[in-house]
Amino acid sequence: MPYITTADGAEIFYKDWGSGQPVVFSHGWPLNSDAWDVELKLAADNGFRAIAHDRRGHGRSSQTWTGNDMDTYAADLNALVDALGLTDIILVGHSTGGGEVVLAAQYGAGRVAKIATAGAVPPVMVKKESNPDGLPISVFDGLRANTLADRSQFFQDLSEQFFGINKGSGISQGQRDQFWRLGMQMSLPAAYDCIKAFSETDFTEDLLALDVPILIAQGDADQIVPIADAAYKSIELVKNGILKVYPGAPHGIAGAYQQALDKDLLEFWKS
């Protein structure tokens, strides 16, 4: 299996399919690169080089004790880009991965052509003085407590909101099982620490600094990352953004939402 080694010795697993302009995918919490398989094949089938990695602590990458923070995640992604010698890159990120690619774009100035995010955590999730509309810290404390108490059952339960099953999304049991399987491949330190990374990192300045086109996509029934605090705010901060809102769509990329999103992603990649 292909790996790169980061400056601190972490081994980062990645997939590399097809050839052409590189499309580099970053996954959400608590998943890994397998969550992007449909989109990886879509990109490769349409003349792109499709690349996705398992974030450190996730999937097949090293289960490091340290480095489970957004700056290190972005540095790891930059290390992958450097190792593969990529230029003219299209970055694609879901949820936590959406924050990772926005931050990594600053490392890749001059090498990144465009960015697409789906259900992304920027600009910032947690409620604080500068973000009074955010979610209270108690929400994220609850995620941490459940992760420690019974991670396996917690991921099974969380899949209901993740895919909007409680809102009638019609997502299959198989999709829920896959969410649980990928989540359970993640180390406990990564599962715990990443909650702080995705909820408390403020990407406002990174969004303001972007000078490449960005597609900001999100379902308006997202129960994990509220659209009012995410896509609707992010589009106001970027210089060259396109907002795509999917009525009734959940956080997890599956079913009808996945079909619609993939159509828009492909159009954006080719534009």
CB neighbourhood size of 141 (10 A): 12
Strand-pair partners of 245 = 218
Strand partners, 24: 51, 91
Largest CA distance in the chain: 47
- Catalytic residue (choose from 76, 206, 222, 229): 222
C-alpha span between 115 and 145 (Å, rounded): 34
For CA atoms 188, 191, 197, 200, the dihedral sign is negative
The span from the CA of 54 to the CA of 187, in Å, is 12
Catalytic residue (one of 95, 159, 187, 199):
95
Give dist(CA 113, CA 226) in Å, integer.
Answer: 28
Q: Is position 222 annotated as part of the catalytic site?
A: yes
**Bridge partner residues of 181 (DSSP):** none
Distance CA 206, CA 45 (A): 32
Task: Please enumerate in sequence order all residues whose Cβ is within 8 A of that of 139, keeping only pairs 6 or more positions apart, or say none.
Answer: none
Secondary structure class of 52 (helix, strand, coil): strand
Residues with a catalytic annotation lie at 95, 222, 251
